[in-house]
Structures are given as C-alpha cells and as structure tokens.
Amino acid sequence: MRRTCSDRRAQRGFTLTELIIIMVLVGILAVSVMPRLQATVALRDDSWRDGVVTSLRYAQKTAVSHRRLVCATVADTTVTLTIASANPATSCNQSLAGPTGGAAFATADNPAMLTTVTPAGVLFFQPDGRVTTTGAGTTASNRTISLTGASAITVRGETGHVE
C-alpha cells in the first residue's frame, strides 16, 4: 500500500530534526540561565552573613551604650538578642525587638543554611564591649562564626569588634 502526500500531512508529531533542534535550544537556555540562578542563591547567602554581622555589631554597641549585658544567640537561621534588666548582671532576661518588631534580628532566607559558632554557646557582650564565655564576664573569648557558602565572621573577645 502506497501512502500519498495527503496521508503524510494528516499524521501529527515532530520530525527527528525538529526534536534535535529543540533539545539544542533548551540546552543553550539552561547554560545561560543556571549562572543567574546560582548568583541569586549566593546573594541570599551573602545577605544572611550581612544580617549576622549587623546583629552582632548592634549587640556590642547596645551593651556599651546601655551599660548592660547583651546576649546574642546565633542559630542556623536566626540571630536573637536579649539584654539584662539591670547592671551588674550575669544573665539576660529581656528580649530586644528586631528590625521587624519580632524577636529575630536576622533571619536566613535559605532554610538549609548551616551556621556554627566556635567555641559554641551564647555570645555575652559586656558593658565595656568585650565578648566573654559567661555572663559574669571573667574570660574574654574570640569567636568564629562559620556560614555555609559565605566567609567566616570573627568577633574579637577583648574589643568586641566584629569582622
């Protein structure tokens, strides 16, 4: 049985050439779009790092200006600050409201973010600006905060300087 030209036109579908051209175009689009998506993810990670740095600097400045102990708790995706209600104090008992009015001063956009404080624990900003291992303020301690996909943050114990 011979097929006529009109029979071939009635069939629907793509030719092999059309499918190959579409695959090549999709590949070219994917190559051009992927770097932009990666840049967007990197920007989110940089904003988390900037939020952590800003929160810690705010904690140090608040401790000095209010002459009170300020405690900074850095978790994987949030930074919260609390302040002592009186001076002298060895613990913090009042929350400091963050920029949005909530308890968190910084929040990561990436829920898979891993944040590690070395040595582990709360950062105690003393009224003189130092960062110590306890609320009593006997031992100043340098701290390093490591973030997934971003450069580490260093807090100098003797000065409270955040780098």
The pLDDT tens digits for 129-146 are 999 999 998 899 999 999
State how many domains the chain has. Answer: 1
161 within a domain of the structure (yes/no):
no
Q: What is the average per-residue pLDDT within 64-72?
A: 95
Within-domain flag for 102 = yes
pTM as predicted: 0.73
Do 97 and 117 form a contact (C-beta atoms < 8 A)?
Answer: no
Q: How far, CA to CA in Å, does 128 sit from each of 14, 77, 125?
A: 75, 28, 8
Residue 12 pLDDT class (50, 70, 90 cuts): confident
pLDDT at residue 156, rounded to an integer: 95
Tell me the mean pLDDT in the region 22-42.
76
Helix (H, G, I), strand (E, B) or coil at 35: helix
Residue 30 has phi, psi (to 5 degrees) of -65, -40
Question: Residue 42 is part of which domain span?
Answer: 14-155
The pLDDT of residue 10 is above 70: no
> Do the Cβ atoms of 90 and 136 come closer than 8 Å?
yes
Domain-embedded: residue 56: yes
- Assess if residue 82 is contained within a domain: yes
Residue 6 lies in a domain: no
Residue 86 domain-assigned?
Answer: yes
Whether 68 is in a domain gets the answer yes
Cα gap 140→74, rounded to integer Å: 18
Residue with tokens 């140090």: 60
Model pLDDT for residues 70-122, shown as the tens digit of each residue: 999 999 889 999 999 998 899 999 999 888 888 898 888 777 778 889 888 89
Residue 46: give its domain's CATH number.
3.55.40
At 4, is the pLDDT very low, low, confident or very high (cuts 50, 70, 90)?
low
Give a yes or no: residue 90 inside a domain: yes
